């Protein structure tokens, strides 16, 4: 039964994307955590939401900066596994694929930052929980961009 499921190209692609997306999320999550906790200092460990409510724009900047640094690490990690193993794009124009990959990821970065600010700033959610929820949304958006635009078979 597992072999039959694995031989289904679409299910295998989704499984591999979830695996790569999961690993990319781990990279994003760990880099975000380390950045915000190391740069933010000990005061940010309970969650940045309480700090944002103190009218400190520095902490909003910390969330945005942490999201940007985590995004860079995740994008650097994700391109090759998605190209080679998930969507099996062996030939093609690598520059075009990379440019489209980065363009799509910039859009998902904007979504990531806005959702983090909404969840943490407006809804006072713990930033690490918000980061996890936001990454699920980002993974789904990135899958559709990769499948139907970046690595689509021509």
Helices (H), 82-146: 94-116, 127-145
pLDDT by residue (tens digit) across 64-121? 899 899 999 999 999 999 999 999 988 778 999 999 999 999 999 999 999 999 998 8
With DSSP H G I counted as helix, E B as strand and the rest as coil, what are the percentages for the chain, rounded to 5? Answer: 85, 0, 15
Write out pLDDT tens, residues 42-67: 544 444 444 444 444 457 788 889 98
pTM of the predicted model as reported, rounded to 2 decimal places? 0.77
pLDDT digits (tens, 9 = 90+) for 5-16: 788 888 999 999
Closest CA to 123 of 71, 19, 36, 48: 48
User: Which token pair is 129?
Assistant: 């929980």
């Amino acid at each position: 039964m597992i072999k039959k499921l694995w031989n289904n190209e679409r299910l295998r692609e989704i499984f591999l994307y979830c695996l790569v997306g999961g690993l990319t999320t781990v990279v994003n999550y760990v880099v975000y955590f380390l950045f915000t906790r190391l740069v933010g200092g000990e005061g940010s460990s309970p969650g940045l939401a309480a700090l944002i409510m103190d009218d400190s724009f520095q902490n909003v900047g910390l969330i945005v900066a942490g999201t940007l640094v985590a995004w860079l690490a995740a994008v650097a990690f994700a391109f090759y596994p998605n190209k080679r193993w998930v969507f099996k794009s062996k030939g093609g124009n690598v520059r075009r694929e990379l440019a489209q990959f980065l363009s799509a990821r910039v859009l998902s970065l904007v979504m990531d930052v806005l959702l983090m600010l909404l969840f943490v700033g407006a809804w006072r959610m713990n930033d690490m929980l918000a980061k996890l929820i936001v990454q699920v949304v980002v993974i789904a958006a990135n899958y559709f961009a990769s499948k139907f635009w970046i690595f689509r078979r021509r």
